[in-house]
Structures are given as structure tokens and as C-alpha cells.
Structure 1
Amino acid sequence: MIKLEKEQTARFAARLEQETQESVMRDIAQFSEADIVDTWASEPPACAEVHAMVFNMERGVHIDEAIEFLKDNPSLQPFDLILANELDFGTARSGEKNTAEEVAKALGLSYVFGLEFIELKDAALGFHGNAVFSRWPVKWAEVLRLPEQYNWYNDRQKRIGGRCAILAKLDVHGREVGVASIHLENRTDGEGRRVQMQAVLDEVQRVFAGLPVILGGDLNTNTFDGRDKDYIRHLADHPAELADNIVKIDSFEPLLTACGDAGYAWRTASGDGRLTRRKPVGEGNFLAMRLDWIIPRGFTAKDSRVISTVTADIDFAKEGGALARFAEPELSDHNVVWASLQLHK
């Protein structure tokens, strides 16, 4: 992906004072790029089962530790597909690294990166997005822009861009499989997320018609409107209410019903309902939510689990490694979702 000079970024940002995100993004070619990078690809697995993982890497700020976590955590083995969210490319907060490239190089994976945002308050390039990583050959890919539910230029984080999904077609021992790494909007409500997921379902039906498909990512299924700060504060003070909402999550998040209606098994491959996100709400407290999902069609989930990224739960770090020296309380504010998926015949 070609970098933007800071002067170019500043000109695009200035246009957002008068124009929509969509009109500005239309003139930034990087928002539609879906280059397949197979420079470090290793041999495909011998088994035709797909071992998929969803991991929101929280911008890749701890990317060296995250790579060791992926390599050495016995609960994640084996894996041959990562649907990843929140990876930086050229941002100061993550050491100006291309974090997707770092993961692919270290783990021997092909990958596709999709640009979600250009961070305007960052001191460097400021690219931030999602990725599909695969041990299976990637034959085709595209970035799907999702209907805007929130204008991030007006947020304190100040960004050009919007939510997206990366769609890719894999060759699993001669059989085509469609996958999508999805990041839905948190600054909206359940209906806003349903609209975005419906756009994904419609495009998947167009480009992967008749294929087995794995949808996954941070769907931000928090059961509330992420713009409602008063209600978020209320939930922080009444955690039992949020826990009850999560038990009935499809009542608050109609995107799950939409997936079910389209033939996807949203209940079976995401760790048996375990929580995946810790949202800080001050004073060391957090909201525990279920945001990260693996949602297959044309597969049977043989096993699925949620793996903690809390530092205190990491008991496999190798002596002298980055993970053994890691002193932060958590590797990411999201846990990992893993599933073993058997293709239907």
C-alpha cells in the first residue's frame, strides 16, 4: 500500500470541513486497495479442516508480544486463518511498524490488509485497518466499505475513513472458501450495526454464492448505543443489567438474526457465549461484553473457545522473550475467539 505524504493527508482532512467522508475517501485510492501479499507464505495445512481465529489486536501496539502469543499459546494451536481487526501501519503509537506485515512475516502467512481509517492526530502515516491472514492460498480479495453510521472526523480521535470488511477467497485443497474480516461500528446502535452487516451479507452472497463462508471479526455487539454516554455510565454501575442483555443478545443485536436468516450459524463457533471485550469505564473498572464472533456457513464447528489476553493468564511465555518481559495488564482489550471448522461435503 502506497504511503500518503503528510501534506496530502492534510489536504484531504481540510476537505472534511465541507464534504462527506464518502466523497473524500473516493479520492484516496488506498481505501479500496486489497493487495494479496504472499511473500512469506508457508505450505498449506495437510488437513482440510479450517482452524479460524478472530483477534482484535488493539492497534498492534504490543505486536512483538502478540506474535509470541500466537506462536506459543497451546490453546490457539493449530490455526490457519486469522480474521484480524485494529492493525496499524505507520502510526507513532505502534512504533510506525506495518503490523500486518510483521505478523505475516513471523508466522509464515499470506495476508490482505484493508484500510479503515487514516488517523489525523498521529505523528506519522496514520494508517489503521483490518486484515485476513491465511495459510491457505488467497486467490482473490476486496475491501467492502460499509454504510456510515458515525462520522469519525468529528470525534476526539479525528479520522478520515469508516468501517470496512475484507472479503477473500481461499483455496482449501482445491475447494473455494469465502472469508470476511469485519469491523462494525461501535458508535451506533443495534440497528446501525444490522445495516452494516446486511451490506456484508449482500456482498458475500454476490461474490461467494454457493460457497462455504466464514464471517468473523469485532462486530461491536455491545447491546447498546455506543454514543449514549449516560447509559454506558449506568451499565458501569449496574453490571447485572448488561449481563442480562448479553444473555438475550440477539434481542438487542438484530444483525445476529440477519445472519441466522441467511444460513449462518452464529451460536456455535464463538466460544459458547463467553465474553470477549473489556471496555474501560474509569477507576480500573470495565464493561465485560461479547463483541467478537466466528460465524460460519457450510461448516460444522467441532470445537470453539475464547482465549484470554490478560497478562495474568499467560503461563506459557518463553524465558527471555518479549512476552515474558511484558508488564502491561493485558495484551489486548479483546480476547481471542478460536474455532475448528469442518467443511460440509
Structure 2
Amino acid sequence: MRPILTQTVPALETPSQELRDAAKATGGNRAAHDRMLSDWPCMTTIELSQPPAAPPVPSELTVCAWNMERCKRVEDSATLLRAAGADVVLATEVDMGMARSGQRHTTRDLAAALGMGFIYGTEFVELGSGDPFETAEFADIPNTHGLHGNAILSRFPLRAPCLIPLDDGGLWYVSTPKNDGQHRVGGRMAMAAQIDTAQGPLTLAAAHFESESDPSLRADQARRLIEGLERQYGAGKAVIGGDLNTNWLADGTRTAAEIIADPAAVEPAFTHFAEARFDWRGSMTPGFTTRCPPGRAARYPLMILDWLMVRDVAPFGPRIWPAVSSAGLYLSDHEMLSTRVIA
């Protein structure tokens, strides 16, 4: 199992175009993949930038969880997060130096727009342009860095940040499961840290489970996430948010309220969460969390892939925010979740 990463740097060192081109040539080779995992600094460190100002320690705060689908519209995304009153953002699928998202360090730019600090970790080094739609548009534009990852943004200082691997990596390099041009070095992971609150430290985690998986694999990733969090921070107050890719829940036979009431009937990951005292019923409002991208065939039924769950804190006011800008522009294929918590 890959180790938990705790070494922070002010800026990630990214692999050169030459290294990424060489990686393409050894696609399918497990040993080559694992050497890159250990040798490329962006795969062994996490980027940390503390907020420019430290507000008073909170007794209540708003936590948002959002799969940002690359974060292609930084400023519009910041506007939506401000409307939600976000104090903490548990962000998944955010790019750094990808042509499809304007070559931006989207987490850094989003944090700057919100006056927040952040931690960012690499889930994948992308060796191509992205999915087939992105490849059709950006195949002729080289990526400046090629990173895709997860992040936590916060108005409050982030303590003891870490990256928790959720698998051994290599699936998207050794076997490329969708065979759609998404050729990648890395594996699924969660970003985690603590913030200080009026009642003591609060652990935060932004998790992204494997999309090409089944309930058994997702249960294993839930177990690894919980074990990693408790190894780093203990079993106290915590909020987990992210895209758990719970696609087997979308069988068209249950309402969103029924799915949220008992996801463990289909997804045993939630048995692990419940045994670790995590609960989602007060931090989730009934509703589906996916959105059909424009210009693509609609996929129904819509799904509940995204979750917010808490342990030993009181949530209230959960909400689903449509992932569109004030001008009606599409932001992501996942809606944004928020909840207030008494910390």
C-alpha cells in the first residue's frame, strides 16, 4: 500500500514534458509506473498555502463538498462558493497546468479569489488531454504541468495536512479501464487536514473514490480512508466530503430520500462509515448530485455520487447547489453540496 504523505512544499515540482512523453512509451508497465510514483516529487509531496488572514476560531462554519470537473471556470466557481457562504471547500477533480482548464493552477487561483488557504495533492499526472470530448478539443495543445488532484480550501489555518492513498495506483496506467485515451500515472486518494474550532480540532477530508469500481472496492477504499484518518488524527470530530462514485445506487427503483436513508443496502462502504460513527443523514438533503454536461447525450437516472458526512459535530441546513453560474453557464457535471456544522 502506498504510504500516507505528509511532506508539504510551497509549490509542487511537476514532471517535464520529456518525462511525461517517456511515461507514455512505457504504458502498461507496472514497474515503470511504481518508479514514477516514488521518483516524481509531485507524487510524494503536497502543496500547502495558508490563508492570508486568520479569522477568529469558529463555533459554526459552512463546509462545501464539490467535484469541480477540472474547475474550468474559476471565477464563476468562486462566485457560487461565496453565495454558499463557504468557510471550507472539500474539492475533488481540480487541475493544475492542463490545457482543458486554461493551464491554470485552479486550486491556487480559486483560493486567491476566496481569500482562503489550501492544500493540494496529485491524484493523477495526466499523459493526455482528458476524456474523448476534451481530447477532441485540446489534443494539439500540450499541458504545461498535467496534474489532476484533490484539495481542501479553508478560511482557517490548515494543521497537519496529509494525502491518504485509497489504492495502490496504476489502474489508469497499467490497464486504462475505459480505453478512452485517459492515460494517467497515480491513483485515488483523499486530502486531509485539521482546523482549530471553539471546541477543539476538527478533521477534514476531501475524498475521491475510483469511478471504475464496484461496491466491494468502494468499501475497501472507505476502510482505507477511515483507517488513515484515525491513524493521523484519532477518532474525534470530523467531516468527510467528496465524490464516492456510488453509481450502483442509481438503479431507478428508489427515491433520493430512500437512498440517503439506507445506502448501505447497496454500498457496504456506508457500513464502514457508520461503524466509525460517521453519519450523513443530517448533512445531506434528498436530491441527486449529477448534472448532464451540455452537448453530450443525457444520462439517466441521475445519481447520488457525492456525499457529506460528519462525526461528533452537529450538522444543519444541508443544501444542494446547482453547478451553474449566475449567467447560467455550466460549471461541473456534479452539483455542489453544503452543510452548516456546529464545531
Normalised TM-score (structure 1): 0.83
Question: Is the aligned partner of 1:89 residue 2:126?
Answer: no
Question: Is the aligned partner of 1:70 residue 2:77?
Answer: no
Instruction: Identify the residue that residue 306 of structure 1 maps to in structure 2.
Output: 320
- The one-letter amino acid paired with 1:31 is M
Instruction: Identify the residue that residue 294 of structure 1 maps to in structure 2.
Output: 308
Deviates more, 1:295-304 or 1:144-153: 144-153
Instruction: Identify the residue that residue 227 of structure 1 maps to in structure 2.
Output: none
Instruction: Identify the residue that residue 66 of structure 2 maps to in structure 1.
Output: 55
8 Å CA contact retained: 1:300, 1:342: yes
1:338 to partner: Cα distance: 0.5
Instruction: Identify the residue that residue 280 of structure 2 maps to in structure 1.
Output: 266
* C-alpha RMSD of the superposition: 2.4
Question: Is the aligned partner of 1:195 residue 2:214?
Answer: no
Aligned partner of residue 88 in structure 1, secondary structure? strand
Instruction: Identify the residue that residue 289 of structure 2 maps to in structure 1.
Output: 276
- The one-letter amino acid paired with 1:127 is L
* Pairing partner for 1:15 from 5, 26, 51: 26
Question: Which structure 1 residue ranges, 4+ long, deviate > 4 Å from structure 2?
Answer: 242-245, 279-282
Q: How does 1:22-171 map to 2 (within 5 A)?
A: 22-38=34-50, 40-45=51-56, 47-71=58-82, 73=83, 76-77=84-85, 79-122=86-129, 123-124=142-143, 125-148=145-168, 151-153=171-173, 154=176, 155-156=179-180, 157-171=182-196
8 Å CA contact retained: 1:37, 1:110: yes
1:18 to partner: Cα distance: 2.2
- The one-letter amino acid paired with 1:36 is L
Segments of structure 1 that go 5 or more residues without pairing to the other structure are 225-234, 312-316, 318-323
1:299 to partner: Cα distance: 0.3
8 Å CA contact retained: 1:222, 1:289: yes
- The one-letter amino acid paired with 1:88 is D
Instruction: Identify the residue that residue 334 of structure 2 maps to in structure 1.
Output: 334
Normalised TM-score (structure 2): 0.83
The 2-side partners of 1:242 and 1:149 are apart by 33
The 1-side partners of 2:252 and 2:300 are apart by 13
The 2-side partners of 1:35 and 1:284 are apart by 36
Aligned partner of residue 192 in structure 2, secondary structure? strand
The 2-side partners of 1:84 and 1:2 are apart by 21
1:108 to partner: Cα distance: 0.6
Segments of structure 2 that go 5 or more residues without pairing to the other structure are 1-11, 130-141
The 1-side partners of 2:95 and 2:155 are apart by 22
* Pairing partner for 2:200 from 175, 184, 188: 175
Q: How many residues align?
A: 310
8 Å CA contact retained: 1:89, 1:99: yes
8 Å CA contact retained: 2:320, 2:335: yes
